[in-house]
Amino acid sequence: MRSSPRDLTRGIFPAGPCQGGLASGTVAFMEWRASHILVKDRALAGELLKKIKQGASFEAMAREHSTCSSKSRGGDLGWFGPGKMVKAFEDAVSRLGNGSLSDVVSTQFGHHLIKKTGQR
């Protein structure tokens, strides 16, 4: 007997507003929440990473050093899904464990330190 997509997702995804769960043919995707520090200089990114690993506050370092407007929120980017960030950034976030800090991630915008703060 063949399982339907609905049977395969039962118990994994909460039911939607119609209590039917995922609609047939719907693909579920992950959302992540992350904070980052964006700087132009790779050496500075490395120095900040070292300081954070030694106990400095990620949020304080973001407020002081990041060139992104998210610095006013301690680097918090909020929730985002696949395709919303550049590939290198998204790949790094998807590999991180919740609460983990990335190594330096380079993109066309500069050099990022990324802290994954949620997943759903």
pLDDT in tens, 42-79: 999 999 999 999 999 999 999 999 999 999 999 999 99
- How far is 100 from 47, CA to CA, in rounded Å? 18
Nearest in space to 107 (alpha carbons), one of 36, 33, 34, 48:
36
**According to the model, what pLDDT value does residue 21 have?**
45
| Domain edges within the chain | 1-29, 32-119
Across the range 110-119, mean pLDDT stands at: 98
Which of 15 and 87 is assigned the larger pLDDT? 87
**According to the model, what pLDDT value does residue 27 have?**
52
Query: Looking at 11-15, 53-57, 107-111, which range is the least confident one?
Result: 11-15
Is the model's pLDDT at 102 over the cut of 70?
A: yes
Percent above pLDDT 90 for the chain? 75
The CATH architecture of the domain made up of 32-119 is Roll (3.10)
Alpha-carbon torsion (17, 20, 21, 22), positive or negative = negative
**According to the model, what pLDDT value does residue 28 have?**
59
